[in-house]
Amino acid sequence: MPAVITSLKDDHLQQVRALANRTGRAEAGGCLLEGAVLITQAVEAGAALRFVLAAEGAADPVTSLLAEAHVPVMVVKESVLRQAVRLNRAVSWLAVAELAAVAGDDQPYGDFAVVLDNVLDPGNLGTIVRTAVGLGVADIVCTDPETDLTSRRVLDASRAAVLRARLRRYDTPVQAVRDLRERGFEVVATSGRADTLQGSVPLSGRPVALIVGNETDGVGDDVLELADHVVRIPMSGDVESLNVGVATGISLYELRTRMALAMLGPVVGELVGAVSDLREPGYVGEDAAERALAGFSEAERAQFGDFLRRMRENLRRKG
């Protein structure tokens, strides 16, 4: 039975106290995960945990998982653990996790980025990050010093997805958009006042940066002026707008799909042009499909591989 930590002067508890604010988390490169569920999700997602603190007498749903992941576990007197995190309620499990480093200017982007223009609510931030990571988007761009993706509330709402994201920071939204445009991104901003419906935006097949705005004010006018496309989600009835977390999820899914279809456009044309060769083994359509899929991630290959196979069969029947 390990010795029970009973003093706030213990080094592990000092580390916990240092992570109480955003500045401390940034300096230490760590963050706090509270609760067995969130800790389990972090371990299963491959996040690096420095150590875990368990309140004395707490139920034990995660020790075996932590042992398999070689994460050290210390037992702390419950009242002392509560003091360390400055909460007036019981805390059973607490982990110190490695925080995803803010990506440097020299670290390449993926093919899709989400830009946060003064989105502040922790629940919305967590939902956006969780949805983005779930759809294969790792680059999350913060453009306001008040946006904190490392707080406990955001980490909880994201189900630890923040630990799998590439966090990027710019001083202003305008600076972020200008840099992304220089990197070749096609910039899409959302606005309830836009004339263009999101489903009809003509994407070119380049990487896409989706800009979502503040819960009340939306995307700033200075940012809208720099966007390649300003779009809105069609609404019916008397509903004027959607929650920014929900709207971002809809936009991410639709734009990711349209982006992939835009990239597949030339290949589809090549497949259609190959109808006369469809009944022969090794026809050009198969080569075109392989060339197209080579540029996609495994998830995208799985998604659009079925599409290409169905097209091949349809063209064979028509041929």
CATH number of the domain bearing residue 84? 3.30.1330.30
- Does the residue 18 lie in any domain? yes
Residues 128 and 193 in one domain: yes
Among 48, 65, 98, give the residue marking a domain's end.
98
- The arithmetic mean of pLDDT across residues 40-50, rounded, is 91
- Does the residue 161 lie in any domain? yes
What DSSP element (H or E) covers 213? strand 208-213
Distance between CA atoms of residues 251 and 233, nearest Å: 8
Residues 241 and 152 in one domain: yes
- Does the residue 107 lie in any domain? no
- The arithmetic mean of pLDDT across residues 69-97, rounded, is 92
pTM: 0.78
Query: How does the average pLDDT of the chain come out, rounded?
Result: 85
Residues 189 and 313 in one domain: no
How many domains, the chain? Answer: 3
Distance between CA atoms of residues 238 and 97, nearest Å: 44
Residues 142 and 243 in one domain: yes
Residues 130 and 162 in one domain: yes
pLDDT at residue 99, as a whole number? 81
Q: Is the pLDDT of residue 281 over 60?
A: no
Residues 124 and 241 in one domain: yes
Helix and strand numbers, DSSP H then E, in the chain:
12, 12
For 238, phi then psi, to 5°, come to -95, 10
- Pick from 95-99, 110-114, 301-305 the range whose average pLDDT is largest: 110-114
- Does the residue 289 lie in any domain? yes
Distance between CA atoms of residues 101 and 81, nearest Å: 27
Higher pLDDT, 70 or 26: 70
Residues 143 and 240 in one domain: yes
- Does the residue 267 lie in any domain? no
Among 33, 66, 98, give the residue marking a domain's end.
98
What's the pLDDT tens digit per position in 195-250?
999 988 888 889 999 999 998 999 999 999 999 999 999 888 777 788 999 999 99
pLDDT at residue 236, as a whole number? 80
Domain span at 182: 112-260
What's the pLDDT tens digit per position in 155-179?
999 999 999 899 999 999 999 999 9
Q: Is the pLDDT of residue 311 over 70?
A: no
- Does the residue 265 lie in any domain? no
- Does the residue 283 lie in any domain? yes
- Does the residue 266 lie in any domain? no
Residues 145 and 285 in one domain: no
pLDDT at residue 274, as a whole number? 47
Q: Is the pLDDT of residue 93 over 50?
A: yes
